[in-house]
Amino acid sequence: MFTQTLTKRVLGSNLVDLLTGPHGVDRYTELVAPTWTLAEARAKVVAVRRSTPRSVTLTLEPNAVFTDCNSLEAGQHVNLTLEIDGRRRTRCYSPANAQGASLLELTIGLHDGGLVSTYLRTHARPGMIVGLHGAGGDFVLPAQRPRRMLFVSGGSGITPIMSMLRTLQAERFDGEVAVIHYARSAAEACYSSELAAMPGVHVLNVFTREGGAPGPSGNAGPTGHFDADHLAVAMPVPDAVFVCGPPALVDAVRECCPQARSESFVPAAFVIPAGPSGGRVTFTESGVGVIDDGRSLLEQAENAGLSPENGCRMGICHTCTRRVTSGAVRNLTNGAVSTPDDEDVQICVSVPVGDVKLAL
Amino acid sequence: MSQQKITSQQKITSQQKTTMSPEQAEAFGRELDAIKDRVLADLGEQDADYIRRVIKAQRALEVAGRGLLFAGILPPAWLAGTAMLAVAKILDNMEIGHNIMHGQYDWMGDPATSSREFEWDNACPGDQWRHSHNYMHHTHTNVVGLDRDIGYGILRMSEDQPWRPYFLGNPVYAFLLMVLFQYGVALHEMETERIRAGEITLADKRETLEGIWRKTRRQTLKDYVAFPLLAGPFAPFVFTGNLSANLIRNVWSYMIIFCGHFPDGTQEFTVEETQNETRGMWSFRQILGSANLTGGRLFHLLSGNLSHQIEHHLFPDMPARRYAEVAPAVREVCERYAVPYNAGPLPRQFGTVVRKIVRLALPPRKHDEPKGKPDETNVDRGDVPARIA
């Protein structure tokens, strides 16, 4: 413990900063062990489980930087960064472990055509190093736990709810808890056995593609999508409702229970519009917005009164590089269209394709 | 509207004349773009792994080299430590620093290999380098009066630079620049020739000077104060080791860099010639103004792949390890368009550079070939090449 603090103080000292300049001490310590850094939050994958055909569960060991700066509450989410084919990608996930656990558990559901989920489903293995940052979120249990709580989850929306349930279990919560979990089929329902085994938790599994799971009496349970009947079966009069899943599920629950706390993760629908001009271009850091007139982003920014750094104005020197945070742009020199992820582009040779947000 | 034609003429040795019409230039540019697009579409894990491996090797050599220098009282330790630190600095300067700052690895999205964030282990501030090199040098390559790499403000490297008695010291200034190269590069953005000519004052360059001072001070403290002091009684060995490593890096990078645009056969251009330049003509100028160095894979690595100067000038933001791969295709395109492709071994290319430095120290003889192109009017630009705003 003492040596740990001493090491940190030495490594963080001005002298070490000078000696390891200009790269910084992390660029040396990470060569010894990839998660040994002073400033970057990282984690090592220590276990990988593929318990359903369309999901992968990762157990992560975060490094000291992460644990020192973040205390995740049950239900909160975190940003995971990993490298796929040389390029960094970032996605947001809710850990499923109980609050305060030393290891993080992420269950990633497979999205059709999803880059990161497909990659992790196929290639995740112990020893992988990932970046972790941006822990936060409002989808949490109230400090004063309500006596009767209903949790509704759809697909991989079960992960923050598992975190909440496990936390309640650890606290020996003695109120009433019910869970309605929507999955496509029994085989795809994550955590179903753990849920069934949780004492004091009434679980209703609804399979949207097969028939309903048998209820406690052995008769077939509800089917299809959420409605007031499902609510009645699970917990007719809850003190608090928590829902996490696709937007349609969240909307349906909020119709019945307007006070429900909710969270929804949807892969961004990335559609390249047919008409390439006339969209709205927003320069987010300057608070300026224009209607796209087909010229390069640099020219449109200058026309709007901004003066972005630039150089050769022909896509060579990278002086004008800025980040596209929303939408797509096309590169004039090679016709390539940018990806759905945040991407750095040379604005002197990029034209908007539809609505675009640029960090400028 | 008149036809735009760049007629280029080899100035020194051969009489080979190369012409390229606008249509040819267009097709030429497109063929080169096709080569570039093929590589860019292929970038991925192997390129990311490569730069990480080079970085890892560089850091390991640096740590080991500095470590050995602490035992530098033993000559083998001093020699090995100095050599390892020198190679580490060369790798950091060239294959890693120069290439990352060009944006060659920006596509990775990793802050450690991002051009905007990278800072290299020498006296020159990264942001100033990015401006003077990525933008000014690569856009205005070999244009006398715009490309300040022609002479660095203190040397006469082109016959188009008018001679003055000051230039009798050309070889001396060149030698001094070579041994102090990291400081020469650091001071590049000061535009000292313009200060001497009275065009700007030192006060105008205050911010630049502050940036240089900040970087140089930390580098000096690191190599010449902090590390030696840490060695206690062995301080002199660490000091001389660091000094030698910096010197080796200075000399090596100077040699490689001066072979990029100055060997016999390379071409300079006037501002007039490059007005309204199309992209195809830009590529044409890049090739005529650059020269390659031949050698093995280790040589290419240690030169930061600046041995492929032609490919680098055509594709500055393509990861440099790919230049060897595309060089045969570039050469083939040049052959078909009758564009000369200048390449030779280091001793020969650098020999012609040294010869040029000495020759240009002397005033031009009356029976020398006329300067410039047949259709260029002689413009007296005075002592300092005029800057076109």
pLDDT, one tens digit for every residue, chain A (360 residues) = 677 788 888 888 999 999 998 999 999 998 889 988 888 899 999 999 999 999 999 999 999 999 988 889 999 999 999 999 999 999 999 999 999 999 999 999 998 888 999 999 999 999 999 999 888 889 999 999 999 999 999 988 999 999 999 999 999 999 999 999 999 888 888 898 999 999 989 998 888 876 555 555 445 566 777 877 888 888 888 899 999 998 889 988 988 888 899 988 765 555 665 555 778 999 999 999 999 988 999 999 999 999 999 988 888 889 999 999 888 899 888 888 887 778 889 999 999 988 899 999
- From the list B108, B215, B317, which residue is nearest A318 (CB)? B317
Three-point CA angle B144, B148, B151, nearest 5°: 85
- From the list B60, B109, B222, which residue is nearest A21 (CB)? B222
ipTM of this complex? 0.86
SS3 B53: helix
- Interface residue B381 vs chain A (CB under 8 A): no
pLDDT value of position A50: 95
- From the list A314, A317, A341, which residue is nearest B134 (CB)? A317
pLDDT value of position B179: 96
SS3 A148: strand
Would you give the DSSP letter of residue A213?
P
Paired tokens of B306: 């600046």
Interchain contact, B139 vs A318, CB within 8 Å: no
Q: Residue A32 burial (CB < 10 Å; 0-12/13-18/19+)? A: exposed
**Can you tell me which residue has the tokens 């006037």?**
B270
Interchain contact, A321 vs B317, CB within 8 Å: no
**C-alpha distance from A286 to closest chain B C-alpha (Å):** 20
**Residue B6: closest CA among B384, B318, B275:** B275
Whole-angstrom distance, CA of residue B363 vs CA of residue B360? 7
- Per-residue HEC secondary structure of B232-294 comes to HHHHHHHHHHHHHHHHHHHHHHHHHHHHHHCCCCCCCECCHHHCCCCHHHHHHHHHHCCCEEE
Q: Which residues from chain B sit within 8 angstroms of residue A15, using beta carbons?
A: 226
| Residue type for position B41 | A
Q: Which residues from chain B sit within 8 angstroms of residue A87, using beta carbons?
A: 44, 48, 107-109
**Residue B151: closest CA among B165, B166, B170:** B170
Interchain contact, B218 vs A22, CB within 8 Å: yes
What is the enclosing helix (H) or strand (E) of A161?
helix A158-170
Would you give the DSSP letter of residue A244?
E
| pLDDT < 50 positions in chain B | 1-15, 372-389
**Can you tell me which residue has the tokens 């080979």?**
B16
Q: Which residues from chain A sit within 8 angstroms of residue B316, using beta carbons?
A: 316-317
pLDDT value of position B17: 60
Interchain contact, B139 vs A334, CB within 8 Å: no
Query: Taking the C-alpha atoms of A221, A227, A228 and A232 in order, what is their torsion angle to the nearest 10 degrees?
Result: 30
- The full set of domains in chain A, from first to last, is 40-136 (2.40.30.10), 148-263 (3.40.50.80), 280-359 (3.10.20.30)
Whole-angstrom distance, CA of residue B129 vs CA of residue B208? 11
**C-alpha distance from A231 to closest chain B C-alpha (Å):** 46
Q: Which residues from chain B sit within 8 angstroms of residue A341, using beta carbons?
A: 109
Beta bridge partners of A55: A109
Per the CB < 8 A criterion, the answer to whether B191 and B153 are in contact is: yes
Beta bridge partners of B293: B344
Residue B162: asked if its preceding bond is cis (omega within 30°), the reply is: no
pLDDT value of position B106: 93
Cβ contacts of B366 within 8 Å, gap of 6 or more: none
Interchain contact, B134 vs A316, CB within 8 Å: yes
The reported pTM is 0.87
The interaxial angle of helices B346-361 and B170-179, nearest 10 deg, is: 130
Per the CB < 8 A criterion, the answer to whether A198 and A169 are in contact is: yes
Whole-angstrom distance, CA of residue A163 vs CA of residue A41? 21
pLDDT value of position A216: 53
**C-alpha distance from A133 to closest chain B C-alpha (Å):** 14
Interchain contact, A311 vs B131, CB within 8 Å: yes
**Residue A346: closest CA among B316, B45, B310:** B316
Q: Which residue of B has its CA nearest to A335?
A: B37
Paired tokens of B129: 């380098």
Per the CB < 8 A criterion, the answer to whether B95 and B113 are in contact is: no
SS3 A352: strand
* B19-49 CB burial, b ≥16 within 10 A, e <16: ebeeebbeebbebbbebbeebbeebeeebbe
**C-alpha distance from B47 to closest chain A C-alpha (Å):** 7
Q: Where are the alpha helices (DSSP H) in chain B?
A: 22-42, 45-69, 75-91, 99-101, 126-129, 138-139, 170-179, 181-186, 192-196, 206-221, 227-230, 235-261, 279-288, 297-302, 309-314, 323-336, 346-361
pLDDT value of position A55: 94
Q: Which residue of A has its CA nearest to B109?
A: A88
Beta bridge partners of A107: A57
pLDDT one-digit tens code per residue, B290-335:
999 999 999 999 999 999 999 999 999 999 999 999 999 999 999 9
Whole-angstrom distance, CA of residue B50 vs CA of residue B67? 26
Interchain contact, A314 vs B279, CB within 8 Å: yes
- Interface residue B43 vs chain A (CB under 8 A): yes
Interchain contact, B33 vs A334, CB within 8 Å: yes
**C-alpha distance from B117 to closest chain A C-alpha (Å):** 10
pLDDT value of position B275: 86
pLDDT value of position B377: 33
Q: Residue B273 burial (CB < 10 Å; 0-12/13-18/19+)? A: buried
Whole-angstrom distance, CA of residue B255 vs CA of residue A38? 39
**Can you tell me which residue has the tokens 């600095």?**
B89
Q: Which residues from chain B sit within 8 angstroms of residue A19, using beta carbons?
A: 222, 226-227, 230
Q: Which residues from chain B sit within 8 angstroms of residue A343, using beta carbons?
A: 109
For residue A231, give Cα distances in angstroms to A116, A253, A308, B209, B330: 34, 9, 55, 71, 69
- Interface residue B219 vs chain A (CB under 8 A): yes
- Interface residue B33 vs chain A (CB under 8 A): yes
Interchain contact, A86 vs B130, CB within 8 Å: no
**C-alpha distance from A113 to closest chain B C-alpha (Å):** 19
**Residue A207: closest CA among A181, A244, A231:** A181
- From the list B46, B135, B215, which residue is nearest A319 (CB)? B135
pLDDT value of position B261: 95
Paired tokens of A226: 């959420």
Per the CB < 8 A criterion, the answer to whether A43 and A104 are in contact is: yes
pLDDT value of position A112: 86
- From the list A21, A311, A314, which residue is nearest B218 (CB)? A21
pLDDT value of position A146: 93
Cβ contacts of B370 within 8 Å, gap of 6 or more: none
Whole-angstrom distance, CA of residue A169 vs CA of residue A187? 25
- Interface residue B49 vs chain A (CB under 8 A): yes
What is the enclosing helix (H) or strand (E) of A203?
strand A201-207
Whole-angstrom distance, CA of residue B257 vs CA of residue B113? 23
Whole-angstrom distance, CA of residue B7 vs CA of residue B21? 9
**Can you tell me which residue has the tokens 């656990």?**
A101
- From the list B37, B119, B218, which residue is nearest A334 (CB)? B37
Whole-angstrom distance, CA of residue A87 vs CA of residue B107? 7
Paired tokens of A260: 């429900």
Q: Which residues from chain B sit within 8 angstroms of residue A334, using beta carbons?
A: 33, 36-37, 40
pLDDT value of position A234: 84
List B residues 157-216 in contact with A (Cβ-Cβ < 8 A): 215
- Interface residue B221 vs chain A (CB under 8 A): yes
